[in-house]
Amino acid sequence: MTTDQRLNDLGIELPEPISPAANYVRYQLTGNLLFISGTGPTAAAPKGKVGTDVSPEDAYQAAREVGLQILATAKQALDGDLDRITRAVKVLGMVNSAPEFGGHPQVINGCSDLLVEVLGERGRHTRSAIGFVSLPNQICVEIEATFEVA
């Protein structure tokens, strides 16, 4: 089964890839590695600190949405062929969190769970889930990813 068929079976439609918000590129393909820049959720996602302004459940959904955007960017980078992804290598998840919040891994599971749902075993990855005092424009999560590609 192709990745596009898997997306269809899951009822998932990838969004249009976003454009860079500043002086950087959304992705960099070097050798057999594809690096996806830090990605935040859409403007519709809740803003603020997880644990006070944003519930962990809403932040999980925002991280899942970010995962969709990461896959959309990867698809663009790979000329429309997500089957070129041989494995997700690393996910770095950043959570805009209240000082007492400790559920960073559960929030970033939104992205990790999505990658495994869509890519199967190719979606399993190493990961860091870290709390930050703030993120740009008070977004609740930002995630970057690295993929090995054929």
The answer, yes or no, to whether residue 21 has pLDDT greater than 90, is: no
Return all residues near 143 (Cβ < 8 A) that are at least 6 apart: 38, 39, 63, 66, 67, 70, 91, 92, 93, 94, 108, 111
CATH of the domain at 62: 3.30.1330.40
Overall number of domains in the chain: 1
Range 143-150 average pLDDT? 98
Contact 10, 31 (CB under 8 A): no
Range of the domain at 63: 3-149
Average pLDDT value for residue range 100-108: 98
Give me the pLDDT at residue 141, please.
Answer: 98
pTM: 0.97
How far from 123 is each of 38, 49, 100, CA to CA, in Å?
18, 28, 31
Find all residues with CB under 8 Å of 109, minimum gap 6, and list them.
60, 63
pLDDT above 90 (res 81): yes
